[in-house]
Every structure is written in structure tokens, then in C-alpha cells.
């Protein structure tokens, strides 16, 4: 009887190691040698299972975008009783996977400046993220003008992304003040 193939399992392990390397070292620092060390494999096995650096980057980018899209689908505007519950969820996610994804996002955004292969999907991801924030604001403040809803959702998204990108510093005061800033910004729509 033939042994079952472990290619898929190895590929997943390597991609997870690659994502951890992107989070730690950035896209350019996530070399095949670093990935192999992180995965506990010989460098030729990395290439064998997932291909070259470009193939790895495409797969990791696709995985990252799919994960965030899945999160957005799981948290539609109507799933929150009110905007305060949305803000609470937005500013309390500190799971290791979430923090890793924040670091991956920062690395991909940084690398996209000089890489059109990354830039196009990252701009699309950013547009989807922006739309997700807008949908939440719009759902809870339907009477606000389009301009107000767009401005507040962009502000809340910026605050959220910024404080998330600094999460590894574990600055509780910054986190609290950022959450309060987002609430103040959202509360400005109460005057509409």
C-alpha cells in the first residue's frame, strides 16, 4: 500500500512559516533560508513543496486576503446590537493570529510600494477593509451624509489599524486612548 502524500500538509506548514517570517522580517527579509529554518526543513524542501519566492509570496498574499475576507463575512453590520459593541470587538482582538496578520499587513503594505504584484491586491484588500468599516458606520448611522459616514469610517479604520500595528508594544494607555478617539469620532455622528 502506498504512503499517503504529505505534500499538502508540508505546503501548509511552509506557508505558515513564511507568514511568520513576513511578520518578523518583512517581505524582503523572509528569505528561503529563514523560511526553512522557521519550518524546520532543509531549504531545497521549501522550494520543492511550494516553489520559488514569487510563488510563496502569491500564496501567502492570497491566504492573508482570504483570512481577512472571512473575518469580515463573519462580522457583518447587523451582527452587532449597536456601534459600541462593534468598537469593543474592533479594539479587543489580540489573538496571536490577529497580531501576526497585522504584522503581515504592515509588511505587505510596505513592500507594495516597489512591487506591483503586491500593490494591486493590497489596494483591493484596503478598499474591501474600508468598505467593511463604512458598512458598519452606515448601518448604525443611516441619517448621516455620505461624506460624514466616509470620513468617520476612514478615521476609525485609521485609528484601528494604527493601534493594531503597535500592539506588540503592549501600551495599554495608547490602546485605551485610541479606542476612546474612535468612539469620539463615531459619536460625532449623533449630532446629525
What pLDDT is stored for residue 1 in this prediction? 52
Q: Which domain holds residue 7?
A: 1-51
91 shares a domain with 179: yes
182 shares a domain with 97: yes
pLDDT tens track, the chain, 192 positions: 555 567 778 889 999 999 999 999 999 999 999 999 999 988 888 888 888 888 889 999 999 999 888 888 888 888 888 888 888 888 876 777 788 888 899 999 999 988 888 999 999 999 999 999 999 999 999 999 999 999 999 999 999 888 888 877 778 888 899 999 999 999 999 876
93 shares a domain with 13: no
What pLDDT is stored for residue 71 in this prediction? 82
46 shares a domain with 69: no
Would you state the cell numbers that stand for residue 1, as one nine-digit string?
A: 500500500
* End-to-end alpha carbon distance in the chain: 71
134 shares a domain with 75: yes
160 shares a domain with 78: yes
How far is residue 77's CA from residue 63's CA, in Å, rounded to a whole number?
24
75 shares a domain with 47: no
What pLDDT is stored for residue 93 in this prediction? 67
119 shares a domain with 89: yes
pTM above 0.75, yes or no: yes
User: Which string of DSSP letters, residue by residue, matches 27-75?
Assistant: HHH--HHHHHHHHTS-HHHHHHHH-SHHHHHHHHHHHHHHHHHHHHHHS
What pLDDT is stored for residue 47 in this prediction? 85
11 shares a domain with 97: no
16 shares a domain with 75: no
143 shares a domain with 92: yes
What pLDDT is stored for residue 25 in this prediction? 94
Number of domains in the chain: 2
What pLDDT is stored for residue 80 in this prediction? 84
What pLDDT is stored for residue 192 in this prediction? 64
64 shares a domain with 41: no
CATH value at residue 36: 1.10.10
Q: In the listed set 28, 51, 74, which residue is the last one of a domain according to the structure?
A: 51
Amino acid at each position: 500500500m502506498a504512503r499517503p502524500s504529505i505534500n499538502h500538509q508540508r505546503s501548509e506548514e511552509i506557508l505558515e512559516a513564511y507568514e511568520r517570517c513576513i511578520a518578523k522580517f518583512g517581505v524582503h527579509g523572509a528569505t528561503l533560508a529563514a523560511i526553512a529554518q522557521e519550518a524546520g526543513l532543509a531549504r531545497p524542501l521549501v522550494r520543492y513543496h511550494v516553489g520559488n519566492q514569487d510563488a510563496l509570496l502569491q500564496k501567502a498574499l492570497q491566504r492573508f486576503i482570504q483570512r481577512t475576507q472571512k473575518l469580515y463575512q463573519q462580522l457583518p453590520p447587523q451582527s452587532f446590537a449597536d456601534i459600541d459593541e462593534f468598537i469593543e470587538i474592533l479594539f479587543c482582538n489580540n489573538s496571536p493570529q490577529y497580531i501576526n496578520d497585522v504584522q503581515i499587513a504592515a509588511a505587505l503594505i510596505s513592500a507594495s510600494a516597489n512591487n506591483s504584484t503586491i500593490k494591486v491586491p493590497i489596494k483591493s484588500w484596503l478598499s474591501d477593509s474600508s468598505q467593511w468599516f463604512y458598512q458598519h458606520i452606515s448601518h448604525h448611522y443611516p441619517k448621516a451624509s455620505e461624506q460624514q459616514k466616509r470620513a468617520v469610517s476612514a478615521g476609525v479604520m485609521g485609528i484601528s489599524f494604527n493601534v493594531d500595528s503597535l500592539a506588540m508594544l503592549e501600551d495599554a494607555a495608547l490602546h485605551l486612548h485610541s479606542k476612546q478617539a474612535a468612539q469620539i469620532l463615531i459619536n460625532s455622528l449623533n449630532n446629525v
